[in-house]
Amino acid sequence: MAERNALSLGITSRNSLFCLFTIISILFILSWFFVLRSTGRPNFIDHNLLPNSKFLATSDDRGSATHSQNEVEPSTGNRSILVDAEEQEEETSQENEKIDVKCNTNDIEVAQQKENKVVLKVFMYDLPPEFHFGLLDWKAQGGSVWPDIRSKIPDYPGGLNLQHSIEYWLTLDLLASELPDAPNAPRSAIRVHNSSDADIIFVPFFSSLCYNRYSKADPRQRKSKNTLLQEKLVRFLTAQKEWKRSRGRDHLIVAHHPNSLLDARMKLWSAMFILSDFGRYPPNIANVDKDVIAPYKHVIGSNVNDSPDFDSRPTLLYFQGAIYRKDGGYIRQELFYLLKDEQDVHFAFGSVQKDGIKKATQGMHSSKFCLNIAGDTPSSNRLFDAIASRCVPVIISDNIELPYEDVLDYSQFCVFVRSSDALKEKFLINLIRNIGKDEWIRMWQKLKEVENFYEFQYPSKEGDAVQMIWQAVSRKVPAIRLKLNKYRRFSSNAVRSDRGVRSVPSPKNFC
């Protein structure tokens, strides 16, 4: 009996010790869990403040998309962020997996809806009319700086002048935002009259029009009107408190024509530029991080009544324009000799003279694919004429930068071909012939979905080129604020002198 009691007591003791050990172990593990959690990432982050992943969807998709031999290599000349070797290897492995990607047009719509809720506030200088509508022969009355756009809108000259008319449409849109009967459609930008309330400072200088009309000097003058106005603009801007406050970093200047603002760009380099491409800019003056690429205004008529009838377009591949170009445009003449004898290919010289625009309209509307080849600069209006024609663009321009490419996947409705591949015998024509009817119709449908993004009009409408450009500017604003806040860290401690007008220093390595 005593032995049984002793045995029972021993078992009970062992069970008690086991239970005690288990409880201590659990408490020990839980204590370490709470310690590790307390040193981890804080759980009070407001995820609504994080960048919208929709904007980055196309860049992520592009890394995993199906890439054929005709894709263009990324431009590095004016891109300040380069892909490192590991990222390139990862992209290569993803390319080999042949993962299909769908177009992100729904993402664009979502992004537009979110952006329209936050309107860009723009302060616009009241520059004298000689810098803007005065260049259109508009005469100011009663000391007014701006025309009354409710009664009469000054006409912009037609022809090729229209393709670089971006500053005209943006200025009209800001003036319209102040009208009491302004359209109720969502607006991407409004004008404010207190620069301290503004997200961006807009400079209403019609620089492209000024170059096109007034770049040649009068025989009796040493300098052209274009040069004189640029000099006056630099003096005006560098004297303004808004420019001094930020050294121009929050200023927006349109210089869409490649030769516009040629004399002033070196002195105004710190501002954000709206450009057609970076072909005639060194990367420390203009680059994809700082500046905005805007589309050309297409000069041929839109193909509004078109249907996705593959067989109703008899021409397979179309190009009409200047063939012999300088700089990177040498490829045009090389392609001319490769393609001129191909069946169902139209490759010919053309200009705006002698019904040139009418002929180009007919040719693009009746073609399945339209060539967009680098000329004197990487971009040309031909791409946007092709989009308006719903003629699938074939882009042969290795250094081209495209509008809204941070939210738009061009590979869904364009064919990209490296210049080195395009110059190979039969490469280009075989590539185009191998794109079947179903694939062409799919790309045609995408062109129809995006064509409104390239339409300039007054009054501006939701989702057109004017609103898309303002939204692209909005996406640059956070980076501008970051730079300004860093610049102001020690500005209160600095002793500043405001004696006279000081020129803005040129960036290092400028040539």
Average pLDDT estimate for 16-45: 58
User: pLDDT: is 242 or 10 the higher one?
Assistant: 242
Q: What is the mean pLDDT of the chain?
A: 81
d(C-alpha 97, C-alpha 100), whole Å: 9
User: pLDDT: is 220 or 281 the higher one?
Assistant: 281
| CB-CB contact of 109 with 467 (8 Å) | no
Q: Looking at 3-7, 347-351, 358-362, which range is the least confident one?
A: 3-7
CA-wise closest residue to 136 among 152, 164, 158, 157:
157
Instruction: Give residue 353's pLDDT.
Output: 60
Confidence of residue 375 (pLDDT cuts 50, 70, 90): confident
Angstrom CA distances, 491 to 87, 245, 484, 495, stand at 39, 10, 10, 8
Q: How far is CA 273 from the centre of its chain?
A: 11
181 pLDDT above the threshold of 90: no
Instruction: Give residue 236's pLDDT.
Output: 98
Q: How far is CA 359 from the centre of its chain?
A: 30
Average pLDDT estimate for 424-436: 97
User: pLDDT: is 171 or 361 the higher one?
Assistant: 171
Q: Looking at 234-238, 302-306, 414-418, which range is the least confident one?
A: 302-306
83 pLDDT above the threshold of 60: no
| CB-CB contact of 510 with 284 (8 Å) | yes
Average pLDDT estimate for 87-107: 47
Instruction: Give residue 141's pLDDT.
Output: 85
Q: Residues 450-460, buried b or exposed e (16+ Cβ, 10 A)? A: bbbbbbbeeeb
Percent of the chain with pLDDT over 70: 72
* Residue 248: how many other CB atoms lie within 10 Å: 22
Per DSSP, the residues of 71-105 read PPPPP-SS-S----HHHHHHHHHHHHTT------H
* Residue 438: how many other CB atoms lie within 10 Å: 8
Average pLDDT estimate for 84-90: 44
Confidence of residue 94 (pLDDT cuts 50, 70, 90): very low
User: pLDDT: is 158 or 78 the higher one?
Assistant: 158
| CB-CB contact of 244 with 502 (8 Å) | no
> Model-level pTM greater than 0.95?
no
Angstrom CA distances, 293 to 71, 386, 507, stand at 20, 18, 21
Confidence of residue 103 (pLDDT cuts 50, 70, 90): very low
Confidence of residue 120 (pLDDT cuts 50, 70, 90): very high
Average pLDDT estimate for 184-210: 93
Instruction: Summarize pLDDT for 133-179 with one digit per residue, the tens.
Output: 999 999 988 889 999 999 999 999 988 889 999 999 999 999 999 99
Q: Is 13 helix (H, G, I), strand (E, B) or coil?
A: helix
Q: Is 245 helix (H, G, I), strand (E, B) or coil?
A: helix
Angstrom CA distances, 443 to 243, 388, 449, stand at 45, 13, 10
Instruction: Give residue 185's pLDDT.
Output: 62
Structure token digits, residue 390: 């719903």
Instruction: Summarize pLDDT for 493-507 with one digit per residue, the tens.
Output: 654 444 444 444 555
27 pLDDT above the threshold of 90: no
Per DSSP, the residues of 419-487 read HHHHTSTTHHHHHHHTS-HHHHHHHHHHHHHHGGGG---SS--TTSHHHHHHHHHHTTHHHHHHHHHHH
Instruction: Summarize pLDDT for 436-447 with one digit per residue, the tens.
Output: 999 999 999 999
